[in-house]
């Protein structure tokens, strides 16, 4: 089974193993430096429009009529140039203006004149106007937008979304925040987005996942990473990282070399979550896995996964030497917030062993065990849990997910995994974003599977931040593979462990055991 990969029709823009992501102001600075190096600003605009035109014709080769909506800035200028290119190729172009040509200035004005000289007509957009194209090109608002979309442009975006037509957004879907991925009142829901110079952080997380569509990154022959003083805002996790982080095991390896993970969870009546975590931990390659859970869950654990050493504990006092023998503790799956769960978390916090903290352990951390900060733990909140830890609302967290992830890491230390669409990993090194995953993951137990995967990788001695990035990546890719086989609806957390095992091991012919991990 193949690992899913993102493709591009432009070989010069193939994603590197760890693509850098930038804020809007950083991309603006890259743009300014490119122009200062001797490339004319209008020439750069023409280059961007040509890349967008190539992208459009590649995806929709049978289209002969397009509608281009042009705003007032350089993003609108890109649209005007694209309209001229389309007309030169014999396409029928409907050019709709959100700002009169006579009010344009600079390169945008030159671009509008170029389209007019190419014979492209223009009309002021008005509500109720029919779109005559088979594809709509969104060139309304660029990456500089920071306030809520209002007035005529808001109405135009609503009309685009209601049209039912495929949409290609130039640089960013209009109305989307380039740094946060939040919708600023209303945003275009694009089928495809072509972005330039530097990839933007806000195209990969939060609400962006419902608005960007297929992303096509075109650097326009600009090497962003050559500007070493512009530090990327984040890095994009990529499937190519798996083999780099998990080299083949030595043939003489034994289980003692791959660590002992202890899962603390499964309060009375909540045993399933802990079992999911323990199994995921085992499938990610930990040498030994122990599970401390309520006594009534022991039989179910033995039946489901006898390889896990399960211990029935009535409270923290029954843990005995389990804590001392473990190399990593996973606390939270099915923990509950009652006395049993509080005792388990208290024991874990008192231990010097590295921790993965999830689910109700996070809620208890916010409500009853506040003030803790460690450099040897991974916290895995979803937006609601993150909000409780930060004293915010979930809406405020989602309005700026990168800022929330960074603030959690600043306050609590270690590494923070902010789950959701475009999961973020915030550690001491740099923010990372996972572009994989699907809506089928919106089901119970998915977070428990992730916490188990984190524990499995940490037990094997991988660094904290590396373990977090790799676990998030494998978790999301495993869910994508499971959805490809069986669909998104009905996807279960327990489905992920076997796919995760495939992802962390190479496909090798029978008999070539020396190449396996």
Assess whether pLDDT exceeds 80 at residue 2: no
**Is 422 assigned to a binding site?**
yes
**Is 421 assigned to a binding site?**
yes
Give the whole-angstrom CA distance, residue 9 versus residue 82. Answer: 18
β 424-426/355-357 pair status: unpaired
Which strands, in side-by-side order, build the sheet including 214-218?
123-124, 92-97, 65-70, 135-139, 167-170, 192-196, 214-218
**Is 419 assigned to a binding site?**
yes
Q: What is the pLDDT of residue 159?
A: 98
**Is 391 assigned to a binding site?**
no
Q: What is the pLDDT of residue 251?
A: 87
Averaged pLDDT of the chain: 93
Which numeric CATH code is attached to 259-503?
Answer: 3.40.1190.20
- Please report which confidence band the pLDDT of residue 512 belongs to, taking 50, 70 and 90 as the band edges: very low
**Is 202 assigned to a binding site?**
no
**Is 395 assigned to a binding site?**
no
**Is 216 assigned to a binding site?**
no
Which of 334-338, 411-415, 511-515 is predicted with the least confidence, judged by mean pLDDT? 511-515
389 with 365: CB under 8 angstroms? yes
Q: What is the pLDDT of residue 506?
A: 67
- Please report which confidence band the pLDDT of residue 507 belongs to, taking 50, 70 and 90 as the band edges: low
**Is 148 assigned to a binding site?**
yes
Assess whether pLDDT exceeds 80 at residue 511: no
3 state DSSP class of 446 = helix
Domain boundaries, the chain: 11-236, 259-503
Measured from the Cβ of residue 29, the count of other Cβ atoms closer than 10 Å reads: 16
Q: Which 8-state DSSP code applies to residue 129?
A: P
Class of domain 11-236: alpha beta
Q: What is the pLDDT of residue 95?
A: 98
Assess whether pLDDT exceeds 50 at residue 14: no
Q: Which residue has the higher pLDDT, 16 or 41?
A: 41
**Is 143 assigned to a binding site?**
yes
**Is 185 assigned to a binding site?**
no
Assess whether pLDDT exceeds 80 at residue 6: no
Assess whether pLDDT exceeds 70 at residue 386: yes
Q: What is the pLDDT of residue 429?
A: 85
**Is 339 assigned to a binding site?**
no
- Percentage of the chain exceeding pLDDT 90: 90
**Is 92 assigned to a binding site?**
no
**Is 343 assigned to a binding site?**
no
**Is 447 assigned to a binding site?**
yes
**Is 145 assigned to a binding site?**
yes
- Please report which confidence band the pLDDT of residue 21 belongs to, taking 50, 70 and 90 as the band edges: very high
**Is 438 assigned to a binding site?**
no
**Is 171 assigned to a binding site?**
yes
Alpha-carbon distances of 370 from 344, 363, 373, 409, 457, rounded to whole Å: 16, 10, 9, 15, 27
Can you spell out the DSSP letters for 43-60?
HHHHHHHHHHHHHHHHH-
Buried b (16+ CB within 10 A) or exposed e, 92-114: ebbbbbbbebeebeebbebbbeb
Assess whether pLDDT exceeds 90 at residue 495: yes
**Is 106 assigned to a binding site?**
no
> Mind listing the pLDDT tens digit for each residue in 155-211?
999 999 999 999 999 999 999 999 999 999 999 999 999 999 999 999 999 999 999
- Please report which confidence band the pLDDT of residue 470 belongs to, taking 50, 70 and 90 as the band edges: very high
Q: What is the pLDDT of residue 1?
A: 34
**Is 213 assigned to a binding site?**
no
- Percentage of the chain exceeding pLDDT 70: 94
**Is 293 assigned to a binding site?**
no
Give the whole-angstrom CA distance, residue 482 versus residue 471. Answer: 16
What stretches of 419-489 adopt beta strand conformation (E)? 424-426, 431-433
> Mind listing the pLDDT tens digit for each residue in 40-94?
999 999 999 999 999 999 999 999 999 999 999 999 999 999 999 999 999 999 9
Assess whether pLDDT exceeds 60 at residue 310: yes
**Is 97 assigned to a binding site?**
no
Domains 11-236 and 259-503 share a fold: no
Q: Look up the pTM and report it.
A: 0.92
């Amino acid at each position: 089974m193949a690992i899913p990969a993102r493709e591009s029709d432009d070989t010069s823009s193939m994603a590197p193993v760890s693509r850098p992501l930038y804020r809007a102001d950083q991309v603006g600075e890259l743009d300014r430096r490119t122009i200062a190096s001797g490339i004319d600003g209008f020439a750069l605009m023409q280059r961007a429009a040509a890349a967008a035109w190539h992208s459009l014709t590649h995806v929709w080769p049978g289209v002969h009529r397009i509608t281009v909506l042009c705003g007032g800035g350089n993003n609108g200028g890109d649209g005007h140039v694209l309209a001229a290119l389309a007309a030169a190729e014999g396409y029928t172009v409907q050019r709709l203006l959100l700002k009169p040509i006579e009010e344009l200035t600079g390169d945008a004005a030159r671009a509008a004149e170029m389209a007019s000289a190419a014979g492209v007509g223009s009309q002021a957009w008005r509500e109720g106007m029919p779109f005559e194209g088979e594809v709509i090109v969104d060139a309304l608002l660029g990456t500089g937008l920071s306030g809520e979309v209002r007035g005529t442009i808001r109405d135009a975006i609503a009309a685009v979304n209601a049209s039912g037509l495929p949409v290609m957004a130039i640089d960013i879907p209009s109305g989307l925040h380039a740094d946060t991925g939040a919708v600023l009142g209303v945003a275009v829901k694009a089928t495809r987005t072509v972005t330039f110079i530097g990839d933007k952080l806000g195209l990969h997380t939060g609400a962006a996942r419902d608005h960007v569509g297929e992303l096509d990154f075109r650097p326009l022959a600009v090497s962003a990473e050559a500007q070493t003083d512009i530090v990327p805002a984040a890095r994009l996790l990529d499937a190519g990282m798996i083999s780099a982080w998990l080299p083949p095991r030595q043939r003489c390896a034994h289980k003692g070399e791959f660590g002992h993970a202890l899962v603390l969870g499964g309060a009375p009546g909540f045993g399933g979550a802990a079992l999911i975590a323990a199994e995921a931990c085992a499938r990610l390659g930990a040498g030994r896995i122990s599970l401390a859970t309520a006594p009534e869950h022991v039989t179910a654990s033995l039946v489901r996964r006898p390889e896990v050493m399960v211990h029935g504990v009535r409270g923290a006092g029954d843990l005995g030497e389990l804590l001392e023998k473990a190399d990593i503790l996973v606390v939270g799956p099915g923990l509950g917030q009652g006395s049993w769960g509080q005792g388990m978390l208290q024991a874990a916090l008192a231990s010097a062993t590295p921790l993965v903290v999830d689910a109700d352990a996070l809620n208890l951390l916010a409500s009853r065990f506040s003030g803790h900060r460690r450099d040897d733990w991974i916290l895995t909140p979803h937006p609601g849990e993150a909000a409780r830890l930060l004293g915010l609302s979930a809406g405020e967290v989602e309005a700026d997910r990168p800022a929330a992830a960074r603030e959690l890491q600043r306050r609590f230390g270690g590494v923070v995994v902010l789950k959701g669409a475009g999961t973020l990993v915030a550690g001491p090194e740099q923010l990372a974003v996972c572009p994989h995953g699907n809506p089928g993951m919106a089901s119970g137990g998915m977070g428990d599977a992730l916490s188990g995967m984190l524990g499995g990788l940490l037990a094997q001695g991988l660094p904290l931040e590396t373990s977090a990035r790799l676990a998030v990546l494998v978790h999301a890719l495993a869910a994508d593979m499971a959805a490809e086989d069986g669909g998104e609806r009905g996807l279960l957390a327990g489905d992920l462990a076997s796919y995760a095992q495939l992802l962390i091991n190479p496909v090798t012919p029978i008999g070539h055991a020396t190449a396996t991990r």
